[in-house]
Structure 1
Amino acid sequence: PIHHGDNLPPGLWRLSKMLSLKTLLVANRGEIAVRILKTAKKLKLRTVVIYSEPDCASTHVHLADEAVLLSGPPPQVYVDGDQIIEIAKKNNVDAIIPGYGFLSENADFARAVTHAGLVFVGPSPESIEAFGLKHTARELATRAGVPIVPGSKGLVASEIEAVEVAKSLGFPVMLKATAGGGGMGLSTCNTEEEVRKSFQTVKSRGKALFKNAGLFIECYYPSSHHIEVQVFGNGRGKAISIGERECSIQRRHQKLIEECPSPFVMRNLELRRDLCDAAVRLAESIKYGSAGTIEYLVDDDTGSFFFLEMNTRLQVEHGITELCYGIDLVELMLKQADAELSGKKGLSAELLSSIPVGAPSGVAIEARIYAENPVKDFAPCPGTLQHVEWKEIPGSRIDTWIYRGIQVSANYDPLLAKVMYHAPTRQEAIKGMTDILAGSQICGPPTNLEFLSKILADKSFTAGNTLTKFLDTFEHNLSAIDVVSGGAYTLVQDWPGRPTLGRGFCHSGPMDSFAFRIANALVGNPLGVEGLDVTLSGPELRFLGSAIISLCGAPIDAKLDDTPIPMWTRIKVSAGQRLKIGKTTGNGCRAYLGLFGGFLNIAKWFGSKSTAPMVGVGGYQGRQLAAGDYISIRHQIPEVAGDLSIPGHLIPQYPKNWEILFMPGPYDEGYIVPESIDMLYSAEWTVSHNAARGGIRLLGPKPTWARPDGGDGGAHPSNLIEYGYAIGSLNWTGDDPVVFSQDAPDLGGFISSHTIVKGDLWKLGQVKAGDTLMFRATSLEDALVIRNATDLPPVLPQGTRGSGVVHTVPEKGNQPLASYRQKALNEAKGEITFSTGLISMVGCGNYILGSKRDYAPHKPWLFEDFDQITFHRGRSRFAPDQATQGADGAGWIGNGAFGAMDGWKADREMLQILPCPLNANVWKVEIKEGDTVEESHLVAVLEAMKLEIAVRAESPAVGGVVEKILVQPGDSIYRGWKPLWCWSGNLPIEGS
């Protein structure tokens, strides 16, 4: 990858040494903090960073010499200027650099830094204030002879005045918060009604985000370019321009792709001179010091340009200017700060003049990678990044803070990385950027990676003709599944999961592998490709691209659009269709959705895409599917001659009364008396409601034990010293049996008396609460036949029960009796000392899995086999809370008020629940309990990653009565939580 200024002749700015600046505090997070630290390290500065609790594992925390945790609510801590300055003073910091965002354009903070005896790495407070309010910045531009967009004269005070100004300017117009930035606090209006509607919204947004409710109005030019000029001033009256950048491709007025130089300017080279001259005039008019950017609106038809604003900070896209001009803007900013600290008031004019400011060398393109969903109006998508892989080639530069396992918080901007590529020509730059994006992969929450690739391939972009309205008509046709609702419990699974991983991780995989593999075979996949494991009630999926699917397993209601579809059949789905999988309609409890090509954005974890929900790894975010999830699928599918179905006589039967084959061992004889072993085969066992992927508890008679206690294993006869568990084991936790299923523990200290044969394990995936089981004996030979013949109709061969003991070494001299059992360790009888408890004590008492820097993708656990663990005596004292039962509570219980639960259960069937489709903070709750829901009623406003998300009522919720509100403003909510409870209907989330 190219580094800043490599292979370019040194100028005075590069040769100058740091004199007074020795320690730097980076008052930011994410990729810009990492970017600044790289230059600080190059200059051999001691670095201090700050971080919030959600950022404790962020890359900048590990790169700095010192990292200090900020106290307070995570969304606000990075703008707590007093706390940051106090940290700087305690750590002997010389200067504070804010980067962009947060405090970078806060004049009060810059002034406080100076008053504390430190240097603010950026422009003076006066410069920040001068350009901080857009309406005053327009006045400064006019004085400097820089053309401005026609608009209101100063701020607009009322809605009536706003309408009058808009009418005089002519539609369309744009309402702008005067203190806004980052694309926030803007609204484009095409009618008087839209002006009235947007006026209060822009005012309230400006007040909430920027503590300033002032707004003004400008003409809106739909056919225009957004072009900006990089400037740098020394604070002593000298400023230079360092080329222009094209930033026209935007969503929500925030940039997605930037270029240096602008392709529009390259076709109109005189325009570069005019843009740059105007920018220098404006910067020098206020003796601007440090890096800054002058933004222009350029009319596509006439080439006329108008001043928009000046960003008095380092710009997000500064990197492509660095690549084309061979400079390091952060280094310049730090050297300007060093000169100020040395009493020189800034860099010399001679030094600034040595910086190359002529024509750019080659072309650089930047693509911003965001955690957002392009098909949901770019809604932000926090979550865990399960896989991160960048393709780096000569000419590339990737500024990022993420890595595999990092958590993307809902508290901050969703920017994950800036991917840049520099080449001699624009065509080569586009090709190189296309290769980088195609070869990079981020798995976890949705990102715009594929969307950006589509832009690069668009004809308008390749021709260099993109305008600010480009995305309004851009058709991207992404191939994916939009999860409308997740169903009761829908997991991504593949076969066979992780049967050999161990180390406390469950096997995972489909509970009914037979139906799962048939579903894959029908669509033309290898049998182990990932699919959906659907329990009891399925998801609703909107297909954004064509697909081939099949649905196998227990009978379940399923419709494609409004047409019922058959099971055990291959079906072609067209883009735009919806598949709604309802509830199971008979016996059995799981169905499986196979899809040709599988799910492309699901990462493998230890060789499998299966979800292990109990430990939160694998699959989609390590959890069940939820509304708002986004699954990438194949772009192209093969042509199929027609539907293909499994013959009816080959489809498994799903009874309510199951017969299941199992074999003895490893711990039957010698642990359970023979009469109770016989009872296991003759009794009818009922499946408890405690039946899940981790185990299926059975209700039935209790056994009689052949020993009084568990010896060294524990007090109960079912206790043993820990050994490895097998899937399908009949495990005794005391007197109660549990059949271990796919997500069962792989190690424990309770006996397993029998084991279900592998050929019958699929039945465990279909038994449900209330079903009955009868265990039938079989031999090892017959079990092997069944395992190898699961494609045949089920059979129940007659076999002997056999024994769990496969070999016995009799007691002789000092050698104790030894019994070798199936799937077990040997048991020794005699005076042998065991060391027990330590592994359980560590594993059960501490969470020993992780993804931070101390872990590795191939080893996400702390310990290796035979590691020695030492426990140290602690000094912590417990402080138990003493409480007594209140008289009111005792009376409530005594009066039988628990009977109210019966009424609640009766009413519950009438209630509909509003799920939250993303992690967010509650900003406003606009309804109250007892309200009747009306059409388009604003229910609540959420805030995530700097985006407002309105929750509005839609059918079938209209007419419902709000029963209970479960959140308040300021609460943090997470995908899967139910923030609102109403009598009827779900309330969908829409971006705003």
Structure 2
Amino acid sequence: MKKISKVLVANRGEIALRIIRACKELEITSVVVFSEVDVNGVWVTRADECYPIVGNPIDAYLKYDKIIDLAKKASCDAIHPGYGFLSESAEFAQACEDNGLIFIGPKPHHIELFGDKMASKVAMKKIGVPVLEGTNTPVIDEEEGRRIALEIGYPIIIKAAFGGGGRGMRIVHFANDFSKMFDSATNESIKYFGKGDVFIEKYVQNPRHIEIQIVADQHGNVVHLGERDCSIQRRHQKVIEITPSPLLNDEVRQKLCKISVDAMKQLGYESVGTVEFLVDEKDNAYFIEMNTRVQVEHPVTEIVTGVDIIQRMIEIAAGDKLKYLQEQIQFRGYAIEFRINSEDPQNNFMPTAGTVIKYLTPGGPGVRLDTSLYSGYELPTSYDSMLGKLIVWALDWKGAVAKARRALDEFHIEGFKTNIPLHREIVRDTTFKEGSFDTGYLDVNMNKFNLEAQSSIADEEEKFLKLEKTLKIIKENNLISVNNNFTLY
């Protein structure tokens, strides 16, 4: 067993803060690196030690030679990459090992395997996991791609072979659109991942996007922590995540969990990971990818199972065995996560920025907020637009939706526009309340949503002004309030 007493967090924002908190509970010293624009980040002050990396704000979290050098100088035992940035870099994981540092995540060869969507598809198909019909080798030539698309039959989907997050992904419904979509997908793939390789597969119309959370130690033990429904998406990027899925029947649920556990056992996988599937209207399931890192949406799983996924990652990296058998994991209630982004839903979701002028957060039973935001914080423009995640829990689906509605109404961020108004509309929508949605939900419903709800911030401001005026009257006239009626005393 390896000793981990000091961890460098190679990330920023809410996930950095989340890892720092896990380390504190495990009595592990936390270290962060930070860019110049993140000097006022709350996670920087919460860490036990912090070290700046000057220069390009993005490079601060991508230049792993500098990060590893700092980790060694700070006498760290391990590095936790969080999600995004270097979290799925096999080269970084290998460099950590080569420099005597523990990479808190899977082995480099597993990161490399699942980072290549085609190779992972072939590997999973080989061990009996159902996959979608499509190419098994990279496609670079447009004419070859056109021929393959005709063989598979439209609609098809073009996907970046290296990368994720919905980048380099285009749906093609008709042969006449293939050329334009192929160019668009390959160009975006080159921009974000450095390679234009794509693969082509059959497109499933409006499926449900279901993922299975896996936890595996270094001793061959693998368990699942249930599924998450990530069907509510915009441009193939997740907006809301739910566990358990309101629509998935128990037979399909158990089947997907078993497939995922068996596959990870056969491949000798270690650490946490997420096996992702598309499930069509007839409950046919198809493997699409494996994420070899902690997911943005991990809190919903933590809430319904009571398992601290970040702590388990650290303990597994140290060589510990899992603390529980599959039958000891209890699933209780429903949890929903809302990604809170600095973007304008009324302006094609363009990113927004500014200073947090007023910040009112929700609370109460069953409400969790993972964020590094605070009043007066100046939002950097160099990074992803996600500000944090609002997570709610209740014993049943109806209760979870009601709690979400209440929590979102309490949540106000003033200084720039956010997607909170969109979430407020979704939780009031009949289709959502019935739990009847798929990946086409937002495409179908966006036009009917009243996104003027952003003005509720102004309404809240007006309430504060009225309250201040009322308090002034009370003070000047020696009044007390009884059931909102003011009387002299």
Scaled by the length of structure 2, what TM-score is found? 0.91
Contact 2:119 2:136 in 1 (8 A): no
**Which region of structure 1 is more displaced relative to structure 2, 184-193 or 223-232?**
184-193
The SS at the match of 2:50 is: strand
The answer as to 2:302 corresponding to 1:322 is yes
In 2 relative to 1, CA 23–601 (structure 1 residues): closer, same or farther, beyond 3 Å? farther
Correspondence for 2:399: 428
Tell me the amino acid that sits aligned with residue 283 of structure 1: M
Cα distance in 2, alignment partners of residues 412 and 285 from structure 1: 37
Contact 1:295 1:308 in 2 (8 A): yes
Deviation at 1:598, TM superposition (A): 9.8
2:412 counterpart (426, 437, 441): 441
The SS at the match of 2:376 is: coil
The answer as to 2:61 corresponding to 1:78 is yes
Deviation at 1:242, TM superposition (A): 1.0
Correspondence for 2:24: 41
Deviation at 1:33, TM superposition (A): 0.7
Tell me the amino acid that sits aligned with residue 312 of structure 1: T
Correspondence for 1:478: 450
Deviation at 1:127, TM superposition (A): 0.5
1:296 counterpart (248, 262, 277): 277
Correspondence for 2:99: 116
Cα distance in 2, alignment partners of residues 193 and 59 from structure 1: 51
Cα distance in 1, alignment partners of residues 230 and 428 from structure 2: 17
Cα deviation code 1:859-899 (max 9, x no counterpart): xxxxxxxxxxxxxxxxxxxxxxxxxxxxxxxxxxxxxxxxx
Cα distance in 2, alignment partners of residues 239 and 44 from structure 1: 26
Deviation at 1:80, TM superposition (A): 0.6
Correspondence for 1:413: 384
Cα distance in 2, alignment partners of residues 198 and 335 from structure 1: 44
Contact 1:385 1:404 in 2 (8 A): yes
Correspondence 1:628-643 to 2 at 5 A: none
Correspondence for 1:404: 375
The answer as to 2:251 corresponding to 1:270 is yes
Correspondence for 2:325: 353
Correspondence for 1:307: 287
Correspondence for 1:89: 72
Correspondence 1:220-231 to 2 at 5 A: 220-231=203-214
Contact 1:243 1:357 in 2 (8 A): no
Cα deviation code 1:81-118 (max 9, x no counterpart): 00000110110101000011000000000000011101
Deviation at 1:275, TM superposition (A): 0.2
In 2 relative to 1, CA 26–603 (structure 1 residues): closer, same or farther, beyond 3 Å? farther
Cα deviation code 1:242-280 (max 9, x no counterpart): 100100000111111111101122xx1111111001111
For structure 2, the residue ranges without an aligned partner over 5 or more in a row are 467-489
Correspondence for 1:630: none
Correspondence for 1:375: 346
The SS at the match of 1:248 is: coil
Contact 2:8 2:31 in 1 (8 A): yes
Contact 1:173 1:190 in 2 (8 A): yes
The SS at the match of 1:600 is: helix
The SS at the match of 1:416 is: strand
Correspondence for 1:279: 260
Contact 1:387 1:603 in 2 (8 A): no
Correspondence for 1:493: none
Cα distance in 2, alignment partners of residues 334 and 598 from structure 1: 42
Deviation at 1:320, TM superposition (A): 0.5
Deviation at 1:399, TM superposition (A): 0.3
Tell me the amino acid that sits aligned with residue 70 of structure 2: I
2:312 counterpart (303, 314, 332): 332
Deviation at 1:157, TM superposition (A): 2.6
Cα deviation code 1:416-469 (max 9, x no counterpart): 111111111110011001100001101111100011011111111111111101
In 2 relative to 1, CA 603–72 (structure 1 residues): closer, same or farther, beyond 3 Å? farther
Deviation at 1:601, TM superposition (A): 7.4
Cα distance in 2, alignment partners of residues 235 and 166 from structure 1: 41
Tell me the amino acid that sits aligned with residue 477 of structure 1: F
Tell me the amino acid that sits aligned with residue 43 of structure 1: L
Cα distance in 1, alignment partners of residues 318 and 456 from structure 2: 56
Correspondence 1:589-608 to 2 at 5 A: 600=458
The SS at the match of 2:247 is: helix
- Name whichever structure is richer in helix by fraction: 2
Correspondence for 2:333: 362
1:66 counterpart (44, 49, 61): 49
The SS at the match of 2:458 is: coil
2:130 counterpart (138, 147, 151): 147
Tell me the amino acid that sits aligned with residue 119 of structure 1: I
Cα distance in 1, alignment partners of residues 357 and 426 from structure 2: 25
Deviation at 1:223, TM superposition (A): 2.5
Contact 1:245 1:261 in 2 (8 A): yes
Tell me the amino acid that sits aligned with residue 354 of structure 2: G
Cα distance in 2, alignment partners of residues 454 and 598 from structure 1: 13
In 2 relative to 1, CA 364–602 (structure 1 residues): closer, same or farther, beyond 3 Å? closer
Tell me the amino acid that sits aligned with residue 296 of structure 2: V
Correspondence for 2:168: 185
Cα distance in 2, alignment partners of residues 472 and 209 from structure 1: 25
Contact 2:357 2:415 in 1 (8 A): yes
Deviation at 1:154, TM superposition (A): 1.8
Cα distance in 2, alignment partners of residues 259 and 411 from structure 1: 29
Contact 1:146 1:278 in 2 (8 A): yes
Correspondence 1:663-682 to 2 at 5 A: none
Contact 1:134 1:309 in 2 (8 A): yes
Contact 1:237 1:285 in 2 (8 A): no
Correspondence for 2:111: 128
Correspondence 1:764-779 to 2 at 5 A: none
Cα deviation code 1:552-606 (max 9, x no counterpart): xxxxxxxxxxxxxxxxxxxxxxxxxxxxxxxxxxxxxxxxxxxxx99727969x9
In 2 relative to 1, CA 189–132 (structure 1 residues): closer, same or farther, beyond 3 Å? same
In 2 relative to 1, CA 54–193 (structure 1 residues): closer, same or farther, beyond 3 Å? farther
Correspondence for 1:200: 183
**Which region of structure 1 is more displaced relative to structure 2, 374-383 or 63-72?**
374-383
The answer as to 2:191 corresponding to 1:212 is no
For structure 1, the residue ranges without an aligned partner over 5 or more in a row are 1-17, 340-346, 481-543, 546-596, 609-992
Correspondence for 1:583: none
Contact 1:442 1:601 in 2 (8 A): no
Contact 1:131 1:310 in 2 (8 A): yes
Cα distance in 1, alignment partners of residues 332 and 28 from structure 2: 30
Correspondence for 2:140: 157
Contact 1:443 1:602 in 2 (8 A): no
Deviation at 1:164, TM superposition (A): 1.5
Correspondence for 2:439: 468
Tell me the amino acid that sits aligned with residue 76 of structure 1: D
Cα distance in 1, alignment partners of residues 350 and 448 from structure 2: 16
Cα distance in 1, alignment partners of residues 369 and 437 from structure 2: 24
Correspondence for 1:967: none
Cα deviation code 1:710-759 (max 9, x no counterpart): xxxxxxxxxxxxxxxxxxxxxxxxxxxxxxxxxxxxxxxxxxxxxxxxxx
Cα deviation code 1:513-552 (max 9, x no counterpart): xxxxxxxxxxxxxxxxxxxxxxxxxxxxxxx99xxxxxxx
Tell me the amino acid that sits aligned with residue 314 of structure 2: L
In 2 relative to 1, CA 33–355 (structure 1 residues): closer, same or farther, beyond 3 Å? farther
Deviation at 1:382, TM superposition (A): 2.0
In 2 relative to 1, CA 410–94 (structure 1 residues): closer, same or farther, beyond 3 Å? same
Tell me the amino acid that sits aligned with residue 296 of structure 1: F
Cα distance in 2, alignment partners of residues 76 and 355 from structure 1: 44
Correspondence 1:602-621 to 2 at 5 A: none
Scaled by the length of structure 1, what TM-score is found? 0.46
Deviation at 1:192, TM superposition (A): 2.1
Contact 2:121 2:136 in 1 (8 A): no
Cα distance in 1, alignment partners of residues 356 and 146 from structure 2: 46
Tell me the amino acid that sits aligned with residue 38 of structure 2: D
Cα distance in 2, alignment partners of residues 352 and 215 from structure 1: 40
The SS at the match of 1:333 is: helix
Cα distance in 1, alignment partners of residues 460 and 223 from structure 2: 48
**RMSD over aligned Cα atoms:** 2.0
**How many aligned positions are there?**
464
Correspondence 1:684-833 to 2 at 5 A: none
